[in-house]
Every structure is written in structure tokens, then in C-alpha cells.
Structure 1
């Protein structure tokens, strides 16, 4: 049975309950992974999601900050979490489907504005978070797994609106890209989105600071869907739902989709 999965940094699930229910109602993914829910789990609008058929939830919440959740029509079980870089943040949760596929949902730290760990503690935390991801995957050698989330890095030149102008901007610096590449290689991960859409500009985030985000189109691809090598061939139909950035009171991120025949 194929299933469709989406990942979306919602930037407050309570504030944007209507946007989530609209997406679930119109697009009907089997699984929706959310980041930056900014809510304890017991304060999430779960009844609204259950009413649409998303009766299975695995989540880690935090008041006002961070938080990750997996909403599913398909049965799944909690597969744990890890406090990467010992930040005490709710930035990772995993769930296991009945077919054995494990889904990891990540919200990697943004890293602040200065790409120097000596001048900016947040940038150091981001690099440490990625380093621990690399080390965990190198040790665990994940199989039959999917990794999704706001990884806060646009790795390729065509993942940003202007490669040269963004080389010293956090999210596209060479040191961040190298760290993300190390994570991918350690876990044997494949970039499903770029496997399906191998060339061309592709974005999933547009800043709130842009007065006309659509016309300016100064985006970055910060949101990702990966798969381990043993299931990468089962992935297809990747797409990014740009239209949600134009919805009322939008998140600055948009959902990324992929379908898996597993």
C-alpha cells in the first residue's frame, strides 16, 4: 500500500489550526509531520485533526517554542526521541508504522544570524546538533527509515535564490552544508525531493521580511524528505505546495510531499 507523507514547519499549531485542517482536508496526506508546533502536546488541537481521520499522533511538545508532531491516518507507535546536543529542546521524535518503516521528524536549530560559533552560541549549537545526528546515524546504520523536517539548511546552489549572495548567510554556508552532507552520508540517506526533481530552483521557505514574497521569490529549500538507501527507490511524486505561503496568516514555510510504495 502506498502512503503519502508531508512535512511542514507550521510556526505554531494552535495559531494555525485552520491552515493545518485545510491542508489535511484538501490534500489528505496519510501522514503529516509538523515542526515548531510551539505547544505542549495536551494543548494541541488534536480533536480537530482526529475529526479528519488523523487519529494517531506521536509528538513532543514544548510551551511557546520548538516541538515536533507526527499526525497519521495509519497506525503507528512511538519510537522515541533524542535530545540532540543536550539543548533540552523538543526537536526530534520518531514513529514506527506497522510495516516497520521508521519516520524521524526533526527541527534542526536555525543557528542565529552570525555564521561563527565563537561569536554566536546558536550557530555552535546548530553544528553540534548536526554532528550528533551524524554520529548517531553512523552508529545505528538506519534501515527502512524516512527522515523529514525543517533542517534549516539549503544545501544546493539551486536550493537558494542566489548562491553567491548567500554563501555567508546562515542556512547556506559551506560549513553547514558540509555538516549536513556528513549526516546524509553517515546514515546512507538519499534526498527524495531532489531524486524526483533533480534540477531547477526549488524553495520551501520565504521570509516574512519580504513585502512581496511571491514576486521577489527570494526563497530557500530548508525543508526536506530523505529515505535510507534500501527504500529510496520506492519514493516518488515529490512536490512542494507553494500556494500555502499565500494563505491567510501563513507560516513562512510550506509543505513538502512525497509518496512511498511500501
Structure 2
């Protein structure tokens, strides 16, 4: 059995103390971080190792993007893919000794205008998710878990107002369509919604809100998926909303699930 957490940390060096606090208080066996904003060699590995996280698989960039998998369990590097040929550190995979592969993804946010003709970043986002679909369709993933900041809230109850966000990047119909096509191509099961099938559920609250907690205008942008052959082993899903209220926080909250594998 192991517990896995995913968290867009929005700079692992700036928020090293918050990562340490999460590791001490929640002690997930595996922590997948996105938006590390650091070259791999400058990730504070010593501190993580002192807390028992002796294995790390990561891809980094100076000041942007970056994904890392920290683990108390032995893992080996299972590669990466440059989705949409952006040259960004947005994907890394690791394999556990039991053969389960973990994919850590950071899908582009897509800018502010949901039109690829007017906004290059939105087109890059759609291309990224389309390539995810094609890869999953070709590879037919098995014994795999996919986590990360996918930057899309697919369900009506994954956002604070479905109607008001239909034209806002992260919940537009075309983004949702692309994400669901990628999910269907790999037959991925949304573990969080398997465990929490009903009700409003968020993992991100904007920095722009002066009182994010009271306004509660959230979106569920962070996801844990599993292939059908292991999805029934997942349970205990939760989103650590309180972490969004820690001092100098990320605008994302960690998402966790436990797997009996």
C-alpha cells in the first residue's frame, strides 16, 4: 500500500519549507510536484532526503515549468516526453518495483484568450492534450497512474460556476473535450471522482482573490488518474484545502490518493 500526492508547488525553492511541512505532516510515500521552476541540480534534495525521500526523478528548467517525483519507495527513471514539441519540462515518469508506472504531467495553462488564432499559448495547450490522447491510444497504458496539474476542470461541479466559466480558459468546452478524449484514449479512471463522485470539488484558488477562502471561487485543475487494471485499488482520495491557507502558499492544494498494490 502506498499514498501518492500531487501538488503544483509554484517554485520548489521558494516553498521548500512548505514541501517539508507537507512531508512531515502527511508523509505521502510519493510526492509529485509541478511548476518546480528550478534546474534539477538546484532542487533542495538534501532536505527531502533527511525526511526519508531518498529517490527522485525530475526534469527541470530555470525559472519555468519543471516536474519532480519524490519517493520513500525505490523508483527508477522511466523517461519523459516533450509534448507538442515545446521544449518544456512538463512530463516525467518513474517506475516502482512492483511495475507500476507514475506519469507526472504539467499541462500548459493556455493564457487568457480561448482562441488559438488570437492566443498561441491556447493552441499549444490544445496540441499538448491532443498528443496525450494520441500517445495513450498508441501505447494502451497498463498498471499506470497519471497525476498532475492538467490545467482543465472538466466537470460542471469542478468549478465554482459552470455558466460563468464556459468562456474562461480551463473550463471551455473545447478544452474539456480534448481532456476527455485523452482520458478515454487511455481508458483512464478519474480516481478522485471515483472516490468523491458528487459535489463541488476544487484544488486551485486564484491569487487575485483578496479572500480566497471566503469567496471560494475554485477549480479542480489537479488530477489523479489510474488505468482500469489498478483503479479499483485506489481509495482515500482527498484534497488538502487547508494547505492553500499556509503562509506564502502555492495557489494549488495537494491532491492525495492511496493505492493497495
SS of the aligned residue for 1:231 comes to helix
Equivalent in the alignment of 2:127: 128
User: What's the CA shift string for 1:49-83, capped at 9, x where partnerless?
Assistant: 00000000000000000000000000000000000
Equivalent in the alignment of 2:239: 240
Equivalent in the alignment of 2:114: 115
SS of the aligned residue for 1:230 comes to helix
Equivalent in the alignment of 1:183: 182
User: What's the CA shift string for 1:192-226, capped at 9, x where partnerless?
Assistant: 00000000000000000000000000000000000
Q: Where do 5+ consecutive residues of structure 2 fail to align? A: none
Question: Displacement, 1:228?
Answer: 0.2
Question: Displacement, 1:147?
Answer: 0.1
Equivalent in the alignment of 1:22: 21
Report 1:39-188 matches (<5 A): 39-188=38-187
Q: Where do 5+ consecutive residues of structure 1 fail to align? A: none
Paired positions, count: 261
Question: Displacement, 1:170?
Answer: 0.1
For residues 82 and 22 of structure 2, what CA distance do their matches in structure 1 show? 29
User: What's the CA shift string for 1:223-257, capped at 9, x where partnerless?
Assistant: 00000010000000000000011100000000000
Structure 1 runs (4+) greater than 2 angstroms displaced: none
For residues 227 and 84 of structure 1, what CA distance do their matches in structure 2 show? 20
User: What's the CA shift string for 1:152-183, capped at 9, x where partnerless?
Assistant: 00000000000000000000000000000000
Equivalent in the alignment of 1:212: 211
**Normalization by structure 2: what TM-score?**
1.00
Equivalent in the alignment of 1:199: 198
For residues 13 and 47 of structure 1, what CA distance do their matches in structure 2 show? 13
**Normalization by structure 1: what TM-score?**
0.99
